[in-house]
Every structure is written in structure tokens, then in C-alpha cells.
Amino acid sequence: MDRYIKALRAVRDNEPLVQCITNFVTVNDCANIILASGGSPSMAKDIREVAEAVRGVQALVCNLGAIEFIDSMIAGGKEANILGKPVILDPVAAGGTSLRREAAERLLKEVHFTAIRGNASEIRFLAGQEVSGSGVDVSKVDAITEENLTDMVEVAKSLASKIGSVIAVSGVIDIITDGTSVVVLRNGCATMARVTGSGCMLTSLIGAFCGAMPEDFFSATVAAMAAMGVCGELAEEQRLEKGTGNATFRIDLIDAVFNLTEKQLMEGIKYEVF
């Protein structure tokens, strides 16, 4: 637990500047959740300035939803690799179309990612498995359940070992692994899937945590995933109490990150070393 509290504290203390190359659907929420966490966002994505911008930041987040900015991701990612700064990938709908399949393959070949956060369909695709998802949401066949958990853990571990990245699979159950250690989280709530960009926001948060605690990317990723899950539960409590919907939930979720205490994270986290 201590290392996750340490990660939360590091984000508030170090105020990491996080560069995101992300899509137009959720970019505002990604910026605001980074600000809520204590970090500072930069959303510059133009190929003519992205590498230069990366020099001033603590982490780079690449979101495949911004499919037209793959060249910027590669330019920024290579610069971050040279400088030893963390690069996080969100492989949005990676297996959904041939354009995205090729883009994801190119990214993995040209950039080393510190961490990759996706849903089960996206991670299975990156691991070379057949997937059935057609859109941005996880396909029902692929979604993590207690039944297929062990299998999904193996897929994630093997991908992590192969490419040397922390792999984070989010869903009803979350899996985080560096190929050796595996942590399973059972936080969050169903309403998170009714808000666009909850995945993108989570990946941005991982960027903030990794940028703030570069000495332990695995723990930083677990801490960010746990923070998001706990905050999802806090926002869901409010939704049920106030009778609101997915729009207020989104606001309450970001607010919960803004106000998250170490006590809330410590008491709320449901984790298991797998």
C-alpha cells in the first residue's frame, strides 16, 4: 500500500507536466483530470513542435483515438525514449479497423512504451490474438470476468514480457503486470462505461502518476488505476444518492480525483497480488 500512497503524494508534490497527443472527443476531460490530480497538461500535437514540447514535460501520453496524429506520436515518443521519459499508450479500438491495426503495429515497432492501458479487446489484439470488438468499447466476448481472469492475466504477462512495458487491462476487474508481478484490482463501477473517455482519462492519469514517480512505473500505474477506480465508486455513491446521470457522474468523478485523500485511497482500494 505504501508505494501507492507515495505515488499519489508524488503527483501532488511534483506537479508533473504531462503532454498528451489525444483525440478531440475527450481531450478536455483528459486535461481536467490531469489538473485534478495535481499535474499540469499540455495538449500540443503538431508534428512541428511535439518533440520540442516533450523536452519540457515529465511524461507523454499517446492516444490512438487521435489516429491522424500517429506521426506526432512517433516523433514525440522517440524523443521521450531518448530522454528516458515515460511514454504511455492508449490503444483505442486498436483492432477495430485495418488503419488502427497498422497504426498500433507501427507505434509498437518505433516507440518503447513505459505502460499501455487498454480494455481486454485492445490488449488481446496487441498480444496477437483474434478479437471481435468493432468499436471503442470492449466486446462482450472479451470482457474480463472471474472465469477468464487467469487467461487474461497470462495474455497480459506475456505481452508485458515481450515488449518490456507495464500492461494495464481495465474493466470490471483490472489487471496490471510488468511481466513478473501481477496486481488485480476490483474497484470501479458500471457507470464508468456510460461516460465517454473514462478510458482516455485513466490513461492520462497514468501519465501523471508515471511522470511524478519515475523510479517505479509499475506502482505508479497501479496507483493511478486504483485512484480512478476508487473515485468511480465515490462518484457512483453520489449518483445514487442524488439520482443524477452519466453527465453529473463525469463531473463528480473528476472532482473526486481533485479531492482524493490518502485515507480514501488506502481504505477504498481492493487489490490482490495475483
CB of 203 or CB of 219, closer to a copy of itself: 203
Q: At its nearest, how many Å lie between a copy of itself and the CB of residue 197?
A: 7
Number of residues that bind a copy of itself (CB under 8 A): 58
CB of 23 or CB of 187, closer to a copy of itself: 23
Query: Residue 126 phi/psi, 5° resolution?
Result: -60, -30
- Cell triple for 78: 522517440
CA-based radius of gyration for the chain: 17
Q: At its nearest, how many Å lie between a copy of itself and the CB of residue 176?
A: 25
Q: Does residue 25 touch a copy of itself according to CB under 8 A?
A: yes
List 271's β-bridge partners, or say none.
185
Among 3-11, 77-85, 114-122, 240-248, the segment contacting a copy of itself (CB under 8 A): 240-248
Q: Does residue 195 touch a copy of itself according to CB under 8 A?
A: yes
* C-alpha distances out from residue 155 to 60, 150, 161, 168, Å: 25, 9, 10, 11
Q: At its nearest, how many Å lie between a copy of itself and the CB of residue 128?
A: 21
Q: Does residue 56 touch a copy of itself according to CB under 8 A?
A: yes
CB of 158 or CB of 248, closer to a copy of itself: 248
Helix axes 70-83, 98-110, angle to 10 degrees: 20
CB of 19 or CB of 221, closer to a copy of itself: 19
* C-alpha distances out from residue 87 to 57, 267, 272, Å: 11, 30, 26
Nearest-5° Cα angle at 258, 253 to 260: 85
Q: At its nearest, how many Å lie between a copy of itself and the CB of residue 260?
A: 9
Among 16-24, 119-127, 163-171, 266-274, the segment contacting a copy of itself (CB under 8 A): 16-24
Sort strands 59-63 and 87-90 into parallel, antiparallel or unpaired.
parallel
The binder of a copy of itself chosen from 126, 256, 265, 269 (CB under 8 A) = 256
Among 76-84, 89-97, 166-174, 208-216, the segment contacting a copy of itself (CB under 8 A): 89-97
CB of 77 or CB of 179, closer to a copy of itself: 77
- Cell triple for 257: 480525483
Kindly tell me the sign of the dihedral angle through the C-alpha atoms of 51, 57, 58, 61: negative
Cβ contact 209:219 at 8 Å: no
Q: Which residue has the cell 474480463?
A: 144
CA distance 247 to 249: 5
Q: Contacts with a copy of itself in 94-133 (CB under 8 A)?
A: 96-100
* H/E run at residue 162: helix 149-163
CA distance 160 to 158: 5
Q: Contacts with a copy of itself in 133-192 (CB under 8 A)?
A: 134-137
Contacts with a copy of itself, residue ranges (CB under 8 A)? 17, 23-29, 31-32, 35-36, 40-44, 46, 48-49, 52-53, 55-57, 65, 67-68, 93, 96-100, 134-137, 194-197, 243-248, 250-259
